[in-house]
Amino acid sequence: MGAIAVIGAQWGDEAKGKIVHHLCRRARMCVRFNGGANAGHTVEDARGTARLHLVPCGALYPGCQGVIGHGVTVDPWVLTDELGGILAQGRSHPELLLSERAHLVLPHHRLEEEREGVAERLGTTRRGVGPCYADRAARRGLRLADLADERRVREHLRAARVAGDGFDPEQVVEDLLRFRERFAAHIGDARAAIAGALERGEGVVFEGAQGTLLDLDFGTYPYATSSTTTVHGIGWGTGISTARVERVLGVTKAYTTRVGEGPFPTEERGEIGDRLRTAGREYGATTGRPRRCGWLDLVALRYAHAVNAFTELALTKLDVLSGLREIRVAVGYRIGGQRVTGFPPRAEDLARAEPIYEVLRGWEEDIAGIRDYERLPSAARHFVRFVEAQVGVSVTFIGTGPGEEAIIVRGRR
């Protein structure tokens, strides 16, 4: 099966979790390369709903190892809780490998996000991920490999003045050492392990967190996340060259959502937005915040394709559009009276963009759970073909409901 990347093509929450989980049935490894506990991937299967923040989705399958690359910020407290939750659902303990080069999210990172008003201003998830990446870039972070050196851990926490923040540094040290003890056998050279799996021809799924439009460089800066969310994050966050990735699957909803602040040209604040939010259950998996909702934006999707060179698309949550008389899709923008087809680099310009819509026919039929493309109403098939033609990429997966079986799988055209 080779290497396949699953990349969010919008502002995150594209239902990547379900697609990754589906692909991992046949994979040996599921690899996270970016973000941290600010991600929230949901998998709904026979054992219930698993909300994962750090554990790679595929690791819920026995036989598929979850690998956390060095580009991921690891919060040991969140990871420990999450594993507890997974075991409580009667699942087996996921097989994990954490990169020794990954940086640790420490209690003061969360506080920093609050104190500096970053969470408020940019609408971040308050998980301390941004401050952890900032420490990494400033070369003052603590990495998983450092946990083997107790003195180093103590000194680090002293220098970070954890005590002044109301944390008991002794307790933090103790927690970290206990974490190290529990995971010692699972902290190692993740890059070499992934390279080995690829050498042996095993299936490796790279699970992107957040989406292209939240990328630190290609996203709507500064309303962005602090990591590389695009396909390029694979090299950045694991050390495996993107040249080794055979399939790049872009995941997009049949409409658009965004959490937190920042420009969103196709946002619908009225009835349509409410309807999409209710039908799509659009509330954040990490924060519970209601998501902003609007129409599908093909300007943004074409841009995401330009950045990632998708080999195929997954179009999720198509069932949410059922019952709408007409469906709008943005095919261009007008900014200050000028028609533009590109995605502007400045958030200020994007905020002024007025979408130019193409209006497509809707469908009445409930399509929930359909697994055969030919059984979709003709208007729904037309919608899919319209997206394919506009972006120039085949849609190979279509989501038709929350459950893991509610998916149409098609070949590439």
Give the residue numbers marked as catalytic: 13, 41
What count of residues does the chain have?
413
Considering the complex, state which of residue 30 and residue 320 has its C-beta at the smaller distance from ligand GDP.
320
Handedness of CA 291, 297, 302, 303 (dihedral sign): negative
Instruction: Output the smallest distance, CB 284 to ligand GDP, in A.
Output: 7
Cα separation, 87 vs 140, in Å, equals: 35
Burial class (CB in 10 A: 0-12, 13-18, 19+), 240: buried
The reply to whether 82 sits near ligand GDP by the rule CB under 6 A is no
Question: Which residue of the chain is nearest ligand GDP when measured via CB?
Answer: 399
| DSSP designation for 333 | E
Please list, residue by residue across 70-81, b when 16 or more beta carbons sit within 10 angstroms of its beta carbon and e when fewer do: bbbbbbbbbbee
The reply to whether 229 sits near ligand GDP by the rule CB under 6 A is no
Considering the complex, state which of residue 268 and residue 319 has its C-beta at the smaller distance from ligand GDP.
319
**Which ranges in 241-393 belong to alpha helices (H)?**
271-279, 298-308, 347-352, 378-391
Binding mask 88-127 for ligand GDP (x = CB under 6 A): ----------------------------------------
Cα separation, 224 vs 123, in Å, equals: 9
Considering the complex, state which of residue 50 and residue 153 has its C-beta at the smaller distance from ligand GDP.
50
Looking at residues 234 to 293 of the shown chain, list those that interact with ligand GDP (rule: CB under 6 A). 280, 285
Amino acid identity at 364: E
Considering the complex, state which of residue 177 and residue 279 has its C-beta at the smaller distance from ligand GDP.
279
Amino acid identity at 116: E
Instruction: Output the smallest distance, CB 253 to ligand GDP, in A.
Output: 8
65 half-sphere exposure, CB direction, 13 A CA radius:
16
Considering the complex, state which of residue 332 and residue 402 has its C-beta at the smaller distance from ligand GDP.
402
Looking at residues 16 to 45 of the shown chain, list those that interact with ligand GDP (rule: CB under 6 A). 16-18, 40-42, 44
Considering the complex, state which of residue 15 and residue 74 has its C-beta at the smaller distance from ligand GDP.
15
Considering the complex, state which of residue 198 and residue 398 has its C-beta at the smaller distance from ligand GDP.
398
Q: Which of 3, 9, 10, 14 binds ligand GDP (CB under 6 A)?
A: 14
Instruction: Output the smallest distance, CB 181 to ligand GDP, in A.
Output: 31
Instruction: Please report, to the nearest 10 degrees, the dihedral formed by the alpha carbons of residues 116, 117, 122, 127 taken in order.
Output: 70
Considering the complex, state which of residue 42 and residue 256 has its C-beta at the smaller distance from ligand GDP.
42
| Stretch of residues binding ligand GDP (CB under 6 A), selected from 10-18, 145-153, 184-192, 298-306 | 10-18
Instruction: Output the smallest distance, CB 51 to ligand GDP, in A.
Output: 8
Instruction: Output the smallest distance, CB 37 to ligand GDP, in A.
Output: 13
Give the SS3 label for residue 174.
Answer: helix
Question: Taking a C-beta distance cutoff of 8 angstroms, is the pair 219, 346 a contact?
Answer: no
Cα separation, 96 vs 101, in Å, equals: 15
Cα separation, 291 vs 321, in Å, equals: 16
Instruction: Output the smallest distance, CB 93 to ligand GDP, in A.
Output: 22
Cα separation, 11 vs 95, in Å, equals: 30
Q: What are phi and psi of 378, to 5 degrees?
A: -60, -35
Q: Could you tell me which residues come within 8 angstroms of residue 334 by beta carbon, excluding any fewer than 6 positions away?
A: 340, 353, 354, 356
Q: Which of 65, 308, 316, 322 binds ligand GDP (CB under 6 A)?
A: 316
Binding mask 320-359 for ligand GDP (x = CB under 6 A): x---------------------------------------
The reply to whether 400 sits near ligand GDP by the rule CB under 6 A is yes
Burial class (CB in 10 A: 0-12, 13-18, 19+), 412: exposed
| Stretch of residues binding ligand GDP (CB under 6 A), selected from 104-112, 158-166, 312-320, 323-331 | 312-320
The reply to whether 399 sits near ligand GDP by the rule CB under 6 A is yes
The reply to whether 66 sits near ligand GDP by the rule CB under 6 A is no
Cα separation, 38 vs 210, in Å, equals: 8
Summarize as ranges the residues that interact with ligand GDP (CB under 6 A): 13-18, 40-42, 44, 280, 285, 316-317, 319-320, 399-402, 406
